Chain A
């Protein structure tokens, strides 16, 4: 039925020797348990996962060891039971040959697994449930890019998906991992496809694209797909039909627009291996901990496909297949067209490792030296993306990045078809990769410099603002000072005898007023002495202000600015002296005249006010401080109890604090008691009963603390629980009452009750 589907052709493409037979001679093999597993935290595209195990932990097979960090991330699970021996930077399979964080597990050989949660009726399960299972299994695209699968299955609302494509093309020479998977697990692939289709709301077409050089896989798939909506579509073999955009074009005739994802044209593409592991993850709850990898090349004695645990070191894998390092020209991860040379064989197999190629020197000789481009145009004919590789090559050589971008460098899929056909052996793809890298780097730099600019400008702005604020404050202060001066001058012009003392008592803080009040009215002699002192001080400051100026003048080094300042200071000092003199004179003049009643009135009033305050404030103050002390005491007691219950070494210190608080309370209480009867002005019964209450509470608290001190931690806990229970009951009663009365504070009561319940729960748990 699959052959009924029309297929399209892609431009370009090449036909390299397929070399697929070598690895298909033997059936799918199993690997013994390797001595160590290296699990990189970043086996996918996106943010690295975050470890959730510690060094030394024992982990079971299938146990989560690193959790996804954000949406574009995938979980990592332990492939077998064992001990986490280290979490550190280790070599990872990457063309750079650099290290990245890995979790290293030493398997114990028992292969014990965590309990898996199968889901039999998965087709009627909720979509979000299925997606969360896929996400929990840490599935990332097994085709090569490693895109987190759950993200792809959650297309944006404005993308309506009408076609689901399963990619079983496997167009690269040598690789047969998907071929073997489709032959041996066709039913899982089909079941997975249906599951993916469900997640995408059953798109119109569910197509499995397979190149016609895999007849056995096609037959197996067609058998498994019989009676379902899945259509198996064989199409002529050509490299690189397996590229996502190329396969979409072959199966639907639609082209993915430049810089867009397939979902924009209503297509979602998944690898067949991904579909199979999605099925296993949903149906059996199995996380992604192993994959099928092709181990091939003439430098090996055995060439076959193996099911290998993720994290297996590649040198161990090669060892198991009789690797002869002398014969090998190099080690390649992936295929000969798009793979990369491994700088070190100790790197592990990861989720995207579909092939380990160990070719002999005859099989894959080192590249011939590049020669000059002869502008033959073969590369343009071979390009599956209809680019102009030759032109791109020139621009890449000239590092003309603008031109490269305008020639759509980023549509290049780096398939290597152009390099393959180049008669001058120019490593074209390497130029493109380097240019892409540089352009990306430049974009990042640009972004960074833009950010730096913004921060710099913001800082400038902030500094300017701060400066302006300071200036404004300075101006405000100056104005206030002038205002005060003006006022003072006005007051001076008013009758002096009346003003001077009144102004004094007004301007001074209450404390001085109180002092005056208690000390009675200061005698005239005292006031005169004070004014005289003021005068002397002003005079001395005047001489001081004059001094440095005269000292500096002969040196001639004083700047104009300094001079100005000095003079201003001198003038101010002079002014002060004059003022002081004037005041003194006025005072003396006024002391000659008999004191009037007018003068005494404001003074007496001020004294009365101050007295009232003296009488009032201590009691109030004491009471409020007592209250706050109670609060602190109860808190401190709680803390102390907690600390003791936990056996913390802070307990003693806390207990001391409690004792001290109690002492304080006792003294303040005493003071309050003494004060209370003396306050005749406000002998309110309320305050008295308050005080009584307070003393009662103190007694209670004291008794409690004493009891506590003698009790063991357990007893205390019990006590606490009991008291809490009592409090809870009371609170509940209150709540009920409040509810019955429709009190507006019901909410507050309710939260109080729930808090108490929580606390009780906590204590009970201890």
Chain B
């Protein structure tokens, strides 16, 4: 054995290398089959960050396809409903620079909107029901339709197919339950050298 190695160093080293390659190849091959992952975990993570409006403004038919596209290298700034916070979160996840929203796909709206059907104008064509990606519109053929506000994602996909234009996107009124305290203006931004600079309309705080 040793003799053989001493006499044919090149051949024996080649044999050793090929042997190693075969062993590791077998191990890796087995692992690939045994520990195969269903689906791409990064797609799931991206999908979790997207707002799930299923509006298709990004050019993909729903949030998950866009997540898939991002995983395949598409830009992360095509989601107007998510806006900058979503882009930032995606950039954080994928460890890239956060670009600003691509205006080509729409603008980020300030207030959340939901679809509202003017019910006496509805002719019951069911076109909006077919368009709604989350089944938030109820109604039947030749019956009035209405939107379940709690389920509406505000994607406005139902507005376009309506033949009588009876669907409006109305901003959601803030309710007392959803109200939250506002963050105070940071000290650095509200620089006031003397106390009397302060505006008189200060509602103040209790504490």
With contacts A369-B198, A371-B187, A452-B134 taken as known, whether A338 is within 8 angstroms of B206 at the C-beta atoms is: yes
Smallest CB separation, B79 vs chain A (Å): 12
Q: Is A693 an interface residue (CB 8 A)?
A: no
Smallest CB separation, B203 vs chain A (Å): 6
User: Across the interface, which residues of A come within 8 angstroms of B181, CB to CB?
Assistant: 95, 430, 433-434, 436-437
Of A328-336, A581-589, A606-614, which binds chain B? A328-336
Cβ–Cβ contact B180 & A366, under 8 A: no
Assembly CA distance A732 to B145 (angstroms): 51
Cβ–Cβ contact B192 & A369, under 8 A: yes
Give the contacts of A449-491 with B (CB-CB under 8 A): 449-453, 455-460
Q: Is B54 an interface residue (CB 8 A)?
A: yes
User: Across the interface, which residues of A come within 8 angstroms of B204, CB to CB?
Assistant: 329-330, 341, 366-367
Assembly CA distance A100 to B179 (angstroms): 12
Q: Which residue on chain B has the smallest CB distance to residue A418? A: B207
Cβ–Cβ contact A341 & B184, under 8 A: no
Q: Is B135 an interface residue (CB 8 A)?
A: yes
Smallest CB separation, A394 vs chain B (Å): 11
Q: Is B36 an interface residue (CB 8 A)?
A: no
Assembly CA distance A162 to B41 (angstroms): 49
Assembly CA distance A370 to B191 (angstroms): 9
From the candidates B133, B178, B188, name the one contacting A372 in the complex (CB within 8 A). B188
Cβ–Cβ contact B205 & A367, under 8 A: yes
User: Across the interface, which residues of B come within 8 angstroms of A451, CB to CB?
Assistant: 151
Smallest CB separation, A336 vs chain B (Å): 7
Cβ–Cβ contact A452 & B151, under 8 A: yes
From the candidates B51, B53, B136, B184, name the one contacting A427 in the complex (CB within 8 A). B184
User: Across the interface, which residues of A come within 8 angstroms of B135, CB to CB?
Assistant: 455, 458-459
Q: Is B68 an interface residue (CB 8 A)?
A: no
Cβ–Cβ contact A396 & B203, under 8 A: no
Bits for A413-445, please: 1 = Cβ < 8 Å to B, else 0.
Answer: 000100110001011011101111110110011
Assembly CA distance A332 to B54 (angstroms): 45
Q: Is A19 an interface residue (CB 8 A)?
A: no
Cβ–Cβ contact B184 & A441, under 8 A: no
Looking at A92, A94, A457, the one whose CB has the most chain B CB atoms below 10 A away is A457
Assembly CA distance A98 to B176 (angstroms): 6
Cβ–Cβ contact B151 & A455, under 8 A: yes
Cβ–Cβ contact A452 & B188, under 8 A: no
Q: Is B183 an interface residue (CB 8 A)?
A: yes
User: Across the interface, which residues of B come within 8 angstroms of A438, CB to CB?
Assistant: 180
Looking at A98, A337, A441, A456, the one whose CB has the most chain B CB atoms below 10 A away is A456
Assembly CA distance A459 to B51 (angstroms): 17
Assembly CA distance A568 to B140 (angstroms): 37
Cβ–Cβ contact A430 & B183, under 8 A: yes
Q: Is A368 an interface residue (CB 8 A)?
A: yes
Assembly CA distance A452 to B148 (angstroms): 12
Q: Is A266 an interface residue (CB 8 A)?
A: no
Cβ–Cβ contact B206 & A456, under 8 A: no
Assembly CA distance A332 to B62 (angstroms): 49
Q: Is A625 an interface residue (CB 8 A)?
A: no
Q: Which residue on chain B has the smallest CB distance to residue A40? A: B176
Assembly CA distance A449 to B134 (angstroms): 11
Bits for B93-124, please: 1 = Cβ < 8 Å to A, else 0.
Answer: 00000000000000000000000000000000
Q: Which residue on chain B has the smallest CB distance to residue A437? A: B180
Give the contacts of B150-207 with A (CB-CB under 8 A): 151, 153, 174-176, 178-184, 186-188, 190, 192, 195, 197-198, 202-207
Smallest CB separation, A646 vs chain B (Å): 31
User: Across the interface, which residues of B come within 8 angstroms of A431, CB to CB?
Assistant: 183-184
From the candidates B50, B63, B188, B207, name the one contacting A419 in the complex (CB within 8 A). B207
Smallest CB separation, A319 vs chain B (Å): 22
Assembly CA distance A252 to B197 (angstroms): 49
Smallest CB separation, A93 vs chain B (Å): 11
Assembly CA distance A336 to B205 (angstroms): 9
Assembly CA distance A172 to B192 (angstroms): 31
Cβ–Cβ contact B134 & A92, under 8 A: no
Q: Which residue on chain B has the smallest CB distance to residue A415? A: B207
Known: A370-B184, A457-B64. 13 other contacts (CB 8 A): A95-B181, A98-B175, A99-B176, A330-B203, A338-B206, A369-B190, A369-B192, A434-B184, A437-B180, A440-B180, A449-B51, A458-B135, A460-B62
A sample of 27 inter-chain contacts (CB < 8 A) reads: A94-B176, A99-B176, A336-B207, A338-B207, A341-B206, A366-B198, A369-B195, A370-B184, A370-B187, A370-B190, A396-B183, A397-B186, A424-B187, A430-B181, A430-B184, A434-B183, A434-B184, A436-B181, A444-B178, A449-B153, A452-B151, A453-B63, A453-B64, A455-B135, A455-B151, A456-B63, A456-B134
Taking beta carbons and an 8 Å cutoff, which residues of B are in contact with A? 47, 50-54, 62-64, 133-136, 151, 153, 174-176, 178-184, 186-188, 190, 192, 195, 197-198, 202-207
A-B pairs, top 8 by smallest CB distance, nearest first, are: A437-B180, A416-B207, A449-B52, A433-B181, A96-B179, A434-B183, A370-B187, A452-B52
